[in-house]
Copies of this chain bind each other. A is one copy, B any other.
Amino acid sequence: MESMTKDDTVRLRKRHIGASCKLFFKHDPIKIVRAEGQYMYDEKDRPYLDCINNVAHVGHCHPTVVQAGVEQMSVLNTNSRFLHDNLVMCAKRLTSLFPSPLSVCFFVNSGSEANDLALRLARAHTKHHDVITVDHAYHGHVTSLIEISPYKFNLPGGGGKPDHVHVAPCPDSYRGKYRDTDHGLDELGRKYAEDVKHIIAKARGGGRNIAAFISESLQSCGGQVILPPGYLKNVYRYVREAGGVCIADEVQVGFGRVGKNWWAFQLQGEDVIPDICTVGKPMGNGHPVAAVITTPEVAQSFANTGVEYFNTYGGNPVSCAIANAVLDVIEKDNLREKATRIGNYLMNILRQLMDKHPIIGDIRGVGLFVGIDLVKDRESRDPATAEAQHIISRMKQEFILLSADGPHRNILKIKPPMVFSQKDADRVVTTLDEVLTEMKQSGIDILSDGSPKEGSVSPSERRKLIEDSIEDEPHGKKQKIIKDSDGIKI
């Protein structure tokens, strides 16, 4: 429901919401009033095909999930110091999806709360403090996680790397330190893991001890990075030899998005089992619920501190009812099988575009977690950042929501609700083909500073396309808070 004009929404937002909270499409943001499945509708009821909201995992407003939330809300919603069946059922079901010995849960409200708790568990268990994180990683917005998120702390105003944090090279076989052009995939996994081994040795040489290695099982904000085979197996061995524990951050990619497996760390092999796993975003299909799953030993070490862990809303009956319903839908609607099928189809037709469009440097992904790496040149692999922003603006005009990420913001991310269909895949790829063709034909060629070169598109049109680029970057431009105090008619 819309209760005021879009202009008034924008004005109120500028006045009362911190400017650090960014909008998609700064210069012409979208007002969404309803959503269903893989579609979001604006105030004029125009449907946008949603390729970016991995949180709406089983589809926006899935009736089974809504029904579960609605029923529980009207009966009871209280904290987990009281016994409740939803909580223990959710824990039982969730842990049944993990390999042994991951059998103990802590319920929280967000991926950030989950990753913070994972660090507390790791430190309590190992009695160490330091953390190894992967370059370009993003693990959450609270203080302890900004500290281990190069995606944030490496920004000009980001605070820099603290002493207790050690950054391992991102095991990106396309544009990382070691590349598929020089090494086989297995070798890449070994080489990137050996870098972690060296980091551990150096840290210990400096009198520091490793509490944890944390990595997303597929790097999302870092640019849709698929870990090379053998990477986690080797890293986990090195970390454990140093007395540390291994944390798999599945907040973005868990719950079957990768298709074949429930969890993306499982792509690295059956013998790869973290000590702590964090899950979140898709877990509540939009509702704030997340969890930490760990071993009895790690949970016991935390309990041995004697300090209670109490999370006011974590694991409340409504959150757990919703999480249980999400699990139901994933299973009943065969969404994992679908993710594999549609994901493979999508990547296949995207790869066919590569012959026509040299700007596409790499198509990578697994299941419905797909990245399109745009390059200025396939040899140098220089990132085509401005072009990515242009494409996103044009796709938006065609009512398709895409975003770009990675350290150069040149990687188009596709991580739609899992109800995304073959027809949707066709539409995205056909439209992308048209936009890329139009860019070539109309002579739009973006300079490295983001401004368009002359061409057949009018200057004002071009400016709009560039200015309207998505704000989904870590380093938004400064926005001034409007300080007038006029009332807004609503």
Contact = CB atoms under 8 A, between A and B. Distances in A.
Interface of A: 1-4, 6, 9-10, 12-13, 15-24, 29-35, 40, 53, 55-56, 60-61, 63, 66, 69-70, 73-85, 87-89, 91-92, 95, 103-107, 109-113, 116-117, 119-120, 124, 141-144, 146, 152, 155-158, 280-281, 284-289, 294, 296, 299-300, 302-313, 315-316, 318-319, 471-481, 483, 488, 490
Nearest to A101: B483
A81 B401 CA distance: 12
A76 B32 contact: yes
B104 A481 contact: yes
A155 B307 contact: yes
Contact of A113 (B2, B103, B110): B110
A111 B13 contact: no
A13 B88 contact: yes
A20 B91 contact: no
A83 B29 contact: yes
A2 B89 CA distance: 11
Contacts of A124: 157
Given A4-B85, A9-B88, A478-B306, A16 B109 contact: no
A313 B299 contact: no
Contact of A308 (B10, B16, B113, B475): B475
A325 to B, nearest CB: 12
Contacts of A281: 312
Given A70-B73, A83-B31, A16 B104 contact: yes
Contacts of A475: 306-308
A104 B83 CA distance: 38
A73 B346 CA distance: 30
A149 to B, nearest CB: 10
Contacts of A141: 113, 117, 309-311
A483 B75 contact: no
A411 to B, nearest CB: 17
11 contacts: A12-B91, A17-B91, A31-B82, A33-B76, A70-B74, A81-B472, A109-B313, A142-B143, A286-B318, A300-B480, A303-B478
Given A113-B112, A141-B311, A310-B141, A20 B302 contact: yes
Given A60-B76, A476-B306, A83 B30 contact: yes
Contacts of A89: 3, 12, 490
Contacts of A73: 61, 66, 69-70
Minimum-distance CB pairs A-B, first 4: A157-B305, A16-B91, A77-B286, A12-B88
A27 to B, nearest CB: 13
B78 A35 contact: yes
B85 A9 contact: yes
Nearest to A10: B83
A371 B419 CA distance: 53
Contacts of A34: 75-76
Given A141-B309, A143-B144, 19 more contacts: A1-B75, A1-B85, A9-B84, A12-B88, A17-B104, A18-B302, A20-B299, A21-B309, A22-B81, A32-B76, A33-B84, A63-B74, A66-B73, A81-B472, A141-B310, A157-B304, A286-B316, A287-B313, A288-B313
Contact of A82 (B29, B109, B480): B29
Contact of A13 (B2, B10, B87, B146): B87
Contacts of A479: 303
Contacts of A9: 83-85, 88
**Of listed A79, A83, A308, A319, residue having the most chain B CB within 10 A:** A83
Contacts of A158: 305, 307
Contacts of A474: 307-308
Contacts of A286: 77-78, 313, 316, 318
Nearest to A292: B18
A116 B145 CA distance: 11
Given A75-B61, A89-B3, A105 B16 contact: yes
A50 B281 CA distance: 33
Contacts of A144: 142-144
A299 to B, nearest CB: 4
A79 B111 CA distance: 14
A352 B84 CA distance: 38
A143 B156 contact: no
A75 B60 CA distance: 9
A144 B95 CA distance: 29
A410 to B, nearest CB: 18
A20 B309 contact: yes
